A and B are shown apart, each in its own frame.
Chain A
Amino acid sequence: MQSLENELKECARKLLTEKKVDLIIGYKKGALPLRSTPCFIREEKDVDSLIFDFTCSNNLATYLQKSKLAEHRTPNTENHGKIGIIAKACDARAIVQLIVEKQVKKEDITLIGIACTGILDLKKVSDGLDGKEILNYKLQNGEVLFQGKDFKKPLKLSDILCDVCKTCLNPDPSVYDSFIGEPISGAKTEIVDKLEGLSPDERWEYFEREISKCIRCYACRNACPLCYCEECVVDRTNPQWFGKSTEFSDTFTFHITRMLDTAGRCVGCGACIRACPTHVDLAPLGIKIEKEIKERFGYTAGLSLDVIPPMATFDEDDKQEFIM
């Protein structure tokens, strides 16, 4: 049986040589041992650099946003043409959501779904190795053997995957043009609220601690495929809704507003969490909102092309137990 990466390369090569796509957006090896990096491939000779493994942390759907696509016009193409994009199940759902919201035309995209068993959480890896620098690693038998300048240490794979990956409810893309690998169905678990069982005061303390780390770099917002507003509310200065400093309530308001604006559209890919340079963990916020949306409105983002996002519509019989 062909390895995942070889299958991927063949698929990409075929699409390019048969001129079904003009551009392939995928992952290639990054400059550091545990990092991959997005790559844009227009020529068949570059297809061999494509990889796919647990370091593929970015949600490539973000590059399909109109504003980002507009930036990638090269001198010899009028527009970006047809795009083949490599997508884990969560990324695929983001693409479907973008199509539903009319940001991207389905005919312009070739969605190459790929089987994903989870992405590494680099903070967990660093914690497990006491912050030491990693020079090499090897995956074998559910363990990853990390090697540095003067150490060798195995960590269990299940201990170092992202929380959102470990509780992934939709590991197989429901809409795709090609699929690489074997479907993963059966790996469903319930979304776990990390802060469940804590009192409101304890939850507030958790968020206080996390928000204080934020440096307002907006890596989270820019990494998110669904954050595509031409002018973000946090950037407006006339009127200015939020302060731009690192003052606590301003920073918290930014994050809450971003979560509310992506309510019912967030696919829980975790790209925002992984993009953060100071490891602010706001995943519980996003997860809570999507859980509420699923309970109240029976909707999960990106599973079907034939829906209206829940916050853009209503039902006369919506529950209103909280209204006097």
Chain B
Amino acid sequence: MATFKIKKKRLKEFIDNLTKEYRVFIPVESDGVASFMEIGDLRFDSYNTDRPPKEIFFPQTEALLTYKEGEISSPEQASTEKIAIFGVRPCDAKSFSLLDRLFGMEPNVAKCSEYKDTYWINKRTNALIFTIGCNHPLSTCFCNWLNGGPFNKEGTDLLLTDNGEDFLVEHCSKNGEEFIKTKGMPVQKATKVDIKRASSIRKKAESTLSKPVDITSLKEDLDNLWDNPVWDEIAYKCLSCAACSYLCPTCYCFDIQDERAGNARGKRIRIWDSCMFSLFTKEASGHNPRPSSKERMRQRIMHKFNYFVENLGEFGCVGCGRCIRSCPVNVDIREIINTIKNVKLTVSNEK
């Protein structure tokens, strides 16, 4: 398998060409918020965006169907546009592969959801993911705790490593391989020197990450902690907003609403929802089985580190650190994981 490289100064031209066939999304900073947009100045040096790229395939507000004067249409489902995302980080690319299984896109993979979300599948199929590896992980990055890493290849078609003047390019999927072969990306073969340099950059990047906490038993630990008072300690300061869920690349809960303009026209839309809202589980009778931040925080942690493992075989967190950066009261999920591990130790010591 050959490794390639592309000169950084040829990137702009390459992306411009890409737009002829694809809708291309790049990480852009606007007014203090970095997100994936179609037009703007590409920033390579920044860390992962503030807003997660899941919103490209799973927008916060999406029309499921539209009706107008008796005719029903579903443009989002029928769309044939091809999407390319350039500049995703490995954590976010991994989130795509997790959500692919969740939305039923990979029925041949063991532990895939049976439900097929045609809206996600339609956009994701034939989408091209160019991942840029992280030479400088942030102090809030903990992808290495979760079987990820700054140059992890899951969910990626083409992995780029910033090698100084150029990017090393490796294909990580059939689509990626196809693309290099046929589409005329202005690449050259990488030399042994290039590959060696990239390898030392990667080693350095991996060494800057904080030492991973061993979470192989986290799922089983959580199985036994449902009634433990540790949840009070974990959730006391949570404000029950949705900052963590909405900015999380693997959160996917949604609500469906109908909106109409008079009687002749309207839309059925789906909008992001969050289990952190108290309204999420409020029942028609007025009863709420998750009445306080404690039950809701427990739900969130259980979902990410227990139910996801049970249903899809993997932790539902990619260690991107967005929740840590965005939480208004600085809830840190890494602290929560450590607290849970310590409780488990005390519980087992007492036994």
Min CB–CB distance B151 → chain A (angstroms): 18
Q: Which residue of B lies closest to A134 (CB)?
A: B139
Q: Which of A40, A58, A71, A247 contacts B61 (CB 8 A)?
A: A247
**If the complex has contacts A123-B32, A209-B31, A222-B240, are A149 and B136 also in contact, measured as CB distance less than 8 A?**
yes
A277 x B326 contact (CB < 8 A): yes
A217 x B32 contact (CB < 8 A): no
Q: How large is the interface on B (under 10, 10 to 19, 20 to 34, 35 or more residues)?
A: 35 or more
The CA-CA distance from A173 to B34 in the complex, in Å, is 38
Q: Which of A62, A126, A209, A243 contacts B257 (CB 8 A)?
A: A243
For B237, the chain A residues whose CB sits under 8 A away are: 37-40, 63
Q: Is A267's beta carbon under 8 Å from chain B?
A: no
B257 x A244 contact (CB < 8 A): yes
**If the complex has contacts A31-B330, A127-B32, are A277 and B247 also in contact, measured as CB distance less than 8 A?**
yes
Most buried by A among B29, B32, B229: B32
The CA-CA distance from A279 to B334 in the complex, in Å, is 24
The CA-CA distance from A170 to B291 in the complex, in Å, is 37
B329 x A217 contact (CB < 8 A): no
The CA-CA distance from A68 to B247 in the complex, in Å, is 24
B330 x A217 contact (CB < 8 A): no
For A222, the chain B residues whose CB sits under 8 A away are: 239-241, 328
Stretch among B43-51, B172-180, B193-201 lining the A interface: B43-51
Q: Is A35's beta carbon under 8 Å from chain B?
A: yes
Min CB–CB distance B221 → chain A (angstroms): 21
Min CB–CB distance B331 → chain A (angstroms): 8
Q: Which of A75, A274, A279 contacts B31 (CB 8 A)?
A: A279
For A245, the chain B residues whose CB sits under 8 A away are: 60-61, 257, 259, 269, 271
Q: Chain A's interface: helix, strand, loop or mixed, by majority?
A: loop
Q: Which residue of A lies closest to B273 (CB)?
A: A244
Q: Which residue of B lies closest to A38 (CB)?
A: B237
For A209, the chain B residues whose CB sits under 8 A away are: 31
Q: Is B292's beta carbon under 8 Å from chain A?
A: yes
Min CB–CB distance B300 → chain A (angstroms): 14
The CA-CA distance from A71 to B246 in the complex, in Å, is 24
Q: Is A256's beta carbon under 8 Å from chain B?
A: no
The CA-CA distance from A275 to B241 in the complex, in Å, is 10
Min CB–CB distance A126 → chain B (angstroms): 7
B47 x A133 contact (CB < 8 A): yes
Q: Is A215's beta carbon under 8 Å from chain B?
A: yes
B31 x A74 contact (CB < 8 A): no
A126 x B32 contact (CB < 8 A): yes
Beta-carbon contacts of A46-83 to B below 8 Å, as 1s and 0s? 00000000000010001100001011101100000000
Q: Which of A63, A68, A75, A278 contacts B51 (CB 8 A)?
A: A278
Q: Which residue of B lies closest to A232 (CB)?
A: B279
For B229, the chain A residues whose CB sits under 8 A away are: 74-75
Q: Is B232's beta carbon under 8 Å from chain A?
A: yes
Q: Which of A70, A126, A246 contacts B271 (CB 8 A)?
A: A246
Min CB–CB distance B329 → chain A (angstroms): 6
**If the complex has contacts A31-B335, A40-B236, A127-B32, are A217 and B136 also in contact, measured as CB distance less than 8 A?**
no
For A223, the chain B residues whose CB sits under 8 A away are: 239, 241, 328
Q: Is A292's beta carbon under 8 Å from chain B?
A: no
Min CB–CB distance B10 → chain A (angstroms): 25
Q: Is B111's beta carbon under 8 Å from chain A?
A: no
Q: Which of A31, A35, A72, A149 contacts B236 (CB 8 A)?
A: A72
Q: Which of A62, A123, A216, A243 contacts B259 (CB 8 A)?
A: A243
B46 x A131 contact (CB < 8 A): yes
**If the complex has contacts A217-B242, A217-B246, A246-B61, are A275 and B31 also in contact, measured as CB distance less than 8 A?**
no
The CA-CA distance from A35 to B257 in the complex, in Å, is 37
Min CB–CB distance A42 → chain B (angstroms): 11
Beta-carbon contacts of B247-273 to A below 8 Å, as 1s and 0s? 100000001010100000000010110
For B259, the chain A residues whose CB sits under 8 A away are: 243, 245
Q: Is B140's beta carbon under 8 Å from chain A?
A: yes
A70 x B257 contact (CB < 8 A): no
A62 x B50 contact (CB < 8 A): no
For B292, the chain A residues whose CB sits under 8 A away are: 70-71
Most buried by B among A63, A127, A219, A243: A219
Q: Is B57's beta carbon under 8 Å from chain A?
A: no
The CA-CA distance from A74 to B330 in the complex, in Å, is 22
For A149, the chain B residues whose CB sits under 8 A away are: 136
Min CB–CB distance B334 → chain A (angstroms): 7
Q: Which of A38, A216, A218, A221 contacts B329 (CB 8 A)?
A: A38
Q: Is A139's beta carbon under 8 Å from chain B?
A: no
Most buried by B among A38, A222, A223: A222
Min CB–CB distance A205 → chain B (angstroms): 13
Most buried by B among A215, A276, A277: A277
The CA-CA distance from A222 to B257 in the complex, in Å, is 23
For B337, the chain A residues whose CB sits under 8 A away are: none
The CA-CA distance from A35 to B293 in the complex, in Å, is 21
Q: Is B89's beta carbon under 8 Å from chain A?
A: no
For A246, the chain B residues whose CB sits under 8 A away are: 60-61, 271
For B329, the chain A residues whose CB sits under 8 A away are: 37-38, 58
For B331, the chain A residues whose CB sits under 8 A away are: 37
Q: Is B324's beta carbon under 8 Å from chain A?
A: yes
B328 x A131 contact (CB < 8 A): no
The CA-CA distance from A40 to B234 in the complex, in Å, is 11
Q: Is B110's beta carbon under 8 Å from chain A?
A: no
Q: Is B332's beta carbon under 8 Å from chain A?
A: yes
Q: Is B22's beta carbon under 8 Å from chain A?
A: no
7 residue pairs from A and B, CB less than 8 Å apart? A37-B329, A70-B292, A123-B32, A215-B247, A218-B277, A244-B257, A277-B247
B residues sitting closer than 8 Å to A (CB atoms) are 29, 31-34, 46-47, 50-51, 60-61, 136, 138-140, 229, 232, 236-237, 239-243, 245-247, 255, 257, 259, 269, 271-272, 274, 277, 279, 291-294, 324-326, 328-332, 334-335
Q: Which 8 A-B pairs have CB atoms at the shortest separation, nearest pair first?
A: A71-B292, A275-B328, A277-B326, A31-B332, A219-B241, A222-B239, A245-B61, A37-B330
